């Protein structure tokens, strides 16, 4: 029996070697030019298995449960920081990342706040959280001077009441919306004080009846098709909606604005789980992404800025020249970042979020 | 000896597939969250021998259960789930019983075909069928288009993302689980009993009420349990068809697990959910047994 087992085991090992190498990547939905995936497979001969998610929370649960089976995952800054602390990632082997020199120090400085020394991650994309509006419809409902660039649009019940009929979507992500609500009432958006955070309840409950849905990916299509007229979402997603509407030529004009009160700046970082089955292949994938032309292709496709200085010469004018994507110095001044909540504050935040979503 | 083996098989089954997993869930519910893999502590280290076990028991407490009582969200969610499960089971029974009854009233050669029709939907993934309902119930879905075209309404009805859509989804999904046990109970029914009842002066309705209904009772009970139990913890249907207003404990559990990454509280919610289910079932079975003894 024992002999039979070991025979089977060696067959399995041989079979394993005979199969093509695999890399499993878990990234955000609508977040890459799919041609890049094919290109990676043809260049390296590695089979790429590409899965998507639309919530940091879901990714984090998989990371903390362990054994996710992924080789590359893409958490945002604050989540990355907590997962590093939990021991979920392995340090990158810089000797295998020959393209690491392409990274942009301006972004690297900021991501070091979450990943000190950028030892565990490379920046994939970064962006802001703000307002996507169907310009025609919003002006029709709120008049020519509608506050399309201000948090007034979504946090002032008077405006929201009028907008409710044509549909408002908000990200289902408390760590994005609560900082914005804090900013709106003039508090520190990165407050870690449960009493201060509790103040946002009144603001959010006031506009909740007018919010059609809390969802983190449906709004791209909904905005583009004209099904909704306002979305509080991620910059590139809204710009993708703008692009899709323009392509469909359906008379829908979408605009993205970072709120004038200040906008959250976030960073999505590629990292390798500590228990990745194929860290070797994962490094190859990261190095492929770090290539200036590949990174530029991804940004040109998804309308997000990246942390790759060398890629900038390959970016189309639509991307590098748009201050909604690559903010100018003045806008950059107006962006803020947040830090992770500890377990106790996290509970307050989620409880508040459940209350806002369900009304209890 | 043979008898012992016969009895031990179901008990081993129960132990391996119910009691052991349940003990693991209870164990997690007594621990505390930490930022680590796995995200709770202490973990029971059996390799540490007796000392490891002692250390584990020193680390656990009932804090999570106390926490559940301190926030009314959980009780509201349990009650709301119970309400939805009771109503949905009643509707499923009301729809399923006539179907099962009708199936046994047709010529026997038709029965396999009808049975096939009841089972057929299982050949498609449950998730796809629920997605199909999203298309049917939506603002520009089939129902609204049909009603608008017929001129019954002039504004599309909001059905999707309401409790009504959740009930439709649950009744649709669990209907076969109600029909099949009732059908199998009714199929065994001896028609001569009904003839006897009518001979003794019963109208068709009284005969149904005095003979058919009591004899199908086991099927009704089995069907109701098969619908009620999974509905109570249902997560997929309310999250796809229900709006943010449908509060169900399955969804709360999901959020504890995924958004709060609080495995101990999520486990405590699951333990209580199980107790809510098990206690009535045990009481019910005791009652049945007593009745049988009284009759015997």
CATH number for the domain harbouring residue A164: 3.40.190.10
User: B244 pLDDT band (50/70/90 cuts)?
Assistant: low
Question: Is residue A113 included in any domain, yes or no?
Answer: yes
Question: Is residue B11 included in any domain, yes or no?
Answer: no
Q: Are residue A37 and residue A113 in the same domain, yes or no?
A: yes
Q: Are residue A158 and residue A278 in the same domain, yes or no?
A: no
Q: Are residue A192 and residue A67 in the same domain, yes or no?
A: no
Contact list in A for residue B134 (CB cut-off 8 A) is: none
**Chain A residues contacting B via beta carbons under 8 Å:** 55, 57-58, 60-61, 63-66, 82, 85-88, 174, 213-214, 274, 343, 346-347, 350-351, 353-355, 357-360
CB–CB of B249/B77 below 8 Å?
Answer: yes
Question: Is residue A12 included in any domain, yes or no?
Answer: no
pLDDT for B256 equals 86
Q: Say yes or no for a CB contact (<8 Å) between B73 and A354.
A: yes
Nearest CA in chain B to A66: B37
For the complex shown, is ipTM > 0.90?
A: no
User: A16 pLDDT band (50/70/90 cuts)?
Assistant: very low
d(Cα B20, Cα B269) in Å, to the nearest integer? 18
Across-strand partners of A23?
Answer: A48
Q: Are residue A257 and residue A309 in the same domain, yes or no?
A: no
d(Cα A304, Cα A306) in Å, to the nearest integer? 6
User: B4 pLDDT band (50/70/90 cuts)?
Assistant: confident
Which residue in A86, A347, A355 is closest to B36 by CB distance? A86
> What is the mean predicted confidence (pLDDT) over B154-175?
90
Helix, strand, coil percentages (3-state) for chain A, rounded to 5, are 50, 15, 30
User: A360 pLDDT band (50/70/90 cuts)?
Assistant: low
Residue A228 CB contacts under 8 Å (≥ 6 apart), including other chains? A134, A166, A167, A168, A169, A212, A219, A222
Q: Are residue A312 and residue A342 in the same domain, yes or no?
A: no
User: A19 pLDDT band (50/70/90 cuts)?
Assistant: low
Question: Is residue B222 included in any domain, yes or no?
Answer: yes
Distance from the Cα of residue B275 to its chain's centroid: 14
Q: Which of A258-262, B92-96, B199-203 has the highest mean pLDDT?
A: B92-96
* Peptide bond just before B38 cis, omega within 30 deg: yes
Of A350, A326, A346, A328, the residue nearest A125 (C-alpha): A326
Q: Are residue A226 and residue A312 in the same domain, yes or no?
A: no
Q: Are residue A169 and residue A63 in the same domain, yes or no?
A: no
Q: Are residue A271 and residue A202 in the same domain, yes or no?
A: no
Contact list in B for residue A59 (CB cut-off 8 A) is: none
User: B271 pLDDT band (50/70/90 cuts)?
Assistant: very high
Structural domain tally of chain B?
A: 1
Q: Are residue A281 and residue A242 in the same domain, yes or no?
A: no
Number of A–B residue contacts, CB under 8 Å: 61
Number of neighbours of residue A354 by Cβ within 10 angstroms: 23
d(Cα B247, Cα B255) in Å, to the nearest integer? 12
- Min Cα–Cα distance to chain A from B100, Å: 38
d(Cα A5, Cα A13) in Å, to the nearest integer? 12
Question: Is residue B56 included in any domain, yes or no?
Answer: no
Which residue in A61, A214, A359 is closest to B261 by CB distance? A61
Structural domain tally of chain A?
A: 2
CATH number at residue B225: 1.10.3720.10
Question: Which residue range forms the structural domain that includes residue A176?
Answer: 129-265+338-358
Question: Which residue range forms the structural domain that includes residue B195?
Answer: 72-295
Q: Are residue A142 and residue A247 in the same domain, yes or no?
A: yes
Q: Are residue A213 and residue A346 in the same domain, yes or no?
A: yes
Q: Say yes or no for a CB contact (<8 Å) between A360 and B73.
A: yes
d(Cα A339, Cα A175) in Å, to the nearest integer? 10
Q: Are residue A87 and residue A148 in the same domain, yes or no?
A: no
The structure tokens listed for A10 are 């060696």
The structure tokens listed for B210 are 């005095």
Q: Say yes or no for a CB contact (<8 Å) between B161 and A353.
A: no
Question: Is residue B185 included in any domain, yes or no?
Answer: yes
pTM of the model: 0.79
Directed axis angle between helix B111-119 and helix B163-187, to 10°? 150
> What is the mean predicted confidence (pLDDT) over A198-219?
92
Across-strand partners of A168?
Answer: A230
CB–CB of A72/A23 below 8 Å?
Answer: yes
d(Cα A45, Cα A33) in Å, to the nearest integer? 19
Q: How much is the mean pLDDT over chain A?
A: 90
Question: Is residue A206 included in any domain, yes or no?
Answer: yes
Contact list in B for residue A347 (CB cut-off 8 A) is: 260, 262
B209-230 pLDDT per residue, tens: 999 999 999 999 999 999 999 9
Question: Is residue A16 included in any domain, yes or no?
Answer: no
Please state whether A226 falls in left (phi above 0), alpha (psi between -120 and 50) or beta: left
B120-154 pLDDT per residue, tens: 998 999 999 999 998 899 877 899 899 999 988 88
């Amino acid at each position: 029996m024992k002999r039979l087992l070991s025979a089977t085991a060696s067959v399995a090992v041989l079979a394993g070697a005979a199969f093509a190498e695999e890399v499993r990547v878990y990234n955000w939905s609508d977040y890459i030019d799919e041609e890049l995936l094919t290109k990676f497979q043809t260049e390296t001969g590695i089979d790429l298995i590409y899965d998507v998610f639309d919530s940091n929370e879901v990714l984090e649960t998989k990371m903390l449960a362990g054994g996710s089976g992924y080789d590359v995952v893409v958490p945002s800054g604050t989540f990355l920081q907590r997962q590093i602390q939990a021991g979920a990632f392995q340090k990158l082997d810089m000797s295998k990342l020959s393209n690491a020199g392409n990274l942009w120090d301006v972004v690297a400085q900021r991501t070091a706040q979450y990943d000190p020394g950028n030892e565990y991650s490379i920046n994939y994309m970064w962006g802001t959280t703000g307002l996507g509006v169907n310009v025609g419809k919003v002006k029709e409902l709120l008049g020519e001077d509608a506050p399309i660039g201000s948090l007034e649009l979504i946090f002032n019940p008077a405006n929201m009441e009028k907008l409710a009929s044509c549909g408002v979507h908000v990200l289902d992500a408390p760590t994005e919306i609560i900082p914005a609500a804090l900013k709106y009432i003039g508090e520190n958006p990165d407050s870690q004080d449960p009493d201060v955070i509790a103040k946002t309840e009144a603001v959010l409950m006031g506009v909740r009846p007018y919010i059609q849905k809390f969802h983190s990916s449906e709004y791209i299509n909904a905005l583009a098709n004209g099904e909704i007229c306002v979305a509080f979402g991620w910059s590139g997603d809204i710009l993708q909606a703008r692009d899709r509407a323009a392509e469909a030529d359906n008379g829908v004009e979408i605009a993205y604005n970072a709120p004038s009160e200040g906008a959250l700046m976030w960073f999505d970082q590629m990292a390798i789980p500590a228990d990745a089955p194929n860290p070797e292949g994962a490094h190859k994938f990261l190095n492929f992404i770090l290539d200036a032309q590949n990174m530029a292709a991804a940004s040109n496709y998804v309308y997000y800025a990246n942390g790759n200085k060398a890629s900038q010469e390959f970016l189309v004018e639509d991307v590098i020249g748009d201050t909604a994507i690559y903010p100018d110095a003045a806008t950059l001044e107006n962006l803020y970042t947040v830090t992770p909540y500890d377990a106790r504050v996290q509970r307050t935040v989620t409880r508040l979020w459940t209350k806002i979503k369900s009304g209890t | 000896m043979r008898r012992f083996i016969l009895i031990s098989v179901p008990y081993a089954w129960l132990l391996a597939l119910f009691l052991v997993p349940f003990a693991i869930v209870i164990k997690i519910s007594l621990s505390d969250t930490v930022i680590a893999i796995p995200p709770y502590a202490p973990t029971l280290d059996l390799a540490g021998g007796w000392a490891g076990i002692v250390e584990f028991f020193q680390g656990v407490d009932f804090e999570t259960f106390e926490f559940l009582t301190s926030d009314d969200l959980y009780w509201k969610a349990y009650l709301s789930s119970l309400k939805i499960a009771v109503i949905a089971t009643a509707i499923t029974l009301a729809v399923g019983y006539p179907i099962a009854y009708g199936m046994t009233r047709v010529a026997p050669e038709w029965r396999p075909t009808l049975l096939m029709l009841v089972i057929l939907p299982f050949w498609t993934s449950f998730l796809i069928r629920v997605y199909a309902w999203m298309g049917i119930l939506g603002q520009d879905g089939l129902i609204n288009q049909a009603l608008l075209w017929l001129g019954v309404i002039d504004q599309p009805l909001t059905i999707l993302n309401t409790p009504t859509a959740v009930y439709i989804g649950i009744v649709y999904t669990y209907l076969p689980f109600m029909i099949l046990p009732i059908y199998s109970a009714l199929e065994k029914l001896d028609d001569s009993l009904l003839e006897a009842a009518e001979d003794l002066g019963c109208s068709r309705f009284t005969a149904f009420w005095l003979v058919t209904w009591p004899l199908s009772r086991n099927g009704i009970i089995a069907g109701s349990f098969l619908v009620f139990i999974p509905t109570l913890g249902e997560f997929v249907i309310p999250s796809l068809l229900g709006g943010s207003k449908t509060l169900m404990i399955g969804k709360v559990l999901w959020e504890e697990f995924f958004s709060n990454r609080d495995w101990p509280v999520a486990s405590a919610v699951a333990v209580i959910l199980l107790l809510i289910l098990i206690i009535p079932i045990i009481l019910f079975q005791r009652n049945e047994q007593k009745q049988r003894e009284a009759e015997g």
